[in-house]
Amino acid sequence: MTGRPVVGVLALQGDVREHLVALARAGADPVPVRREAELAAVHAVVLPGGESTTMSRLLRTFELLEPLRERIASGLPTYGSCAGMILLAREVLDTRADAVGVGGLDVTVRRNAFGRQVDSFETDLDVVGVVGPPVRAVFIRAPWVERVGDGVQVLARVPPGHGAADGRVVAVRQGSVLATSFHPEVTGDGRVHELFLRMVRESADGDMG
Ligand SMILES: NC(=O)CC[C@H](N)C(=O)O
């Protein structure tokens, strides 16, 4: 792919603006997506952090659930952070029965896994595919991954020193789908978005070859 990929940010709820800014800085042409026609025009999509059960409801209201599910299943490069990871997961623990996701990632995640007392915490993570110093990871009522299927690559785990969270999987990749429990869009460190854009380019070049 030459030029800047057009990357949609699902804009029904959540920290849409932060992802639009991070994507533009990382070298994409970001666009908010609220309609099927907008989704049809993107090379890739980001599902932002926010509230996964609310986003699930809005996806149905805006008639985006099926179109998104179909495009992801047919290989649309997709990045989900936090609530976005929950929407991509095949199985979600501790959620509402009617909170349907879009699939794409063969993992089981637990919502609000870090404990109700600890709403948010930060730590430094080594993330596979991100070079340089560790990534400052901000977790806000975040999920973690409890099961990874075949074909899912673990990109990061919580380092020791965080009690029950030690060793928990918090970043994964399956094919062109990337997901993180944390929010790189809020720290100003563009390296996770850059990793995603490399995946977008690889996927586009693969399609042409
Ligand atoms: N920061 C976030 O995206 C939080 C996710 C939220 N707890 C949910 O269940 O969807």
DSSP assignments along 24-66, one per residue:
HHHT-EEEEE-SHHHHHT-SEEEE-SS-HHHHHHHHHHTT-HH
Say whether pLDDT at 23 is over 90.
yes
Say whether pLDDT at 97 is over 70.
yes
Mark whether 183 is an active-site residue: yes
Q: Which of 139, 141, 145, 182 to probe ligand 1 with, by most ligand atoms within 8 A of CB?
A: 141
Calculate what percentage of the chain has a pLDDT beyond 90: 88
Say whether pLDDT at 187 is over 80.
yes
Q: What are phi and psi of 92, to 5 degrees?
A: -125, 125
Mark whether 82 is an active-site residue: yes
Give pLDDT tens digits for 123-181.
999 999 999 999 999 999 999 999 999 999 999 999 999 888 999 999 999 999 999 99
Q: How confident is the model at residue 1 (pLDDT cuts 50, 70, 90)?
A: confident
**What is the model's pLDDT at position 116?**
61
| Average pLDDT estimate for 6-27 | 98
Q: What is the pTM of this model?
A: 0.96
Report which residue type is found at 21.
V
Q: Which domains are assigned to the chain? A: 6-208 (3.40.50.880)
Give pLDDT tens digits for 85-96.
999 999 999 999
Which residues, in sequence order, are bridge partners of residue 139?
121
**What is the model's pLDDT at position 118?**
62
Separation of alpha carbons 137 and 141, rounded Å: 13
| Average pLDDT estimate for 50-72 | 97
Mark whether 38 is an active-site residue: no
Pocket of ligand 1 (CB under 6 A): 49-52, 82-83, 86, 111-112, 140-141
Q: Which residues contact 9 (CB under 8 A, 6 or more apart)?
A: 16, 19, 20, 23, 30, 31, 32, 33, 45, 46, 48
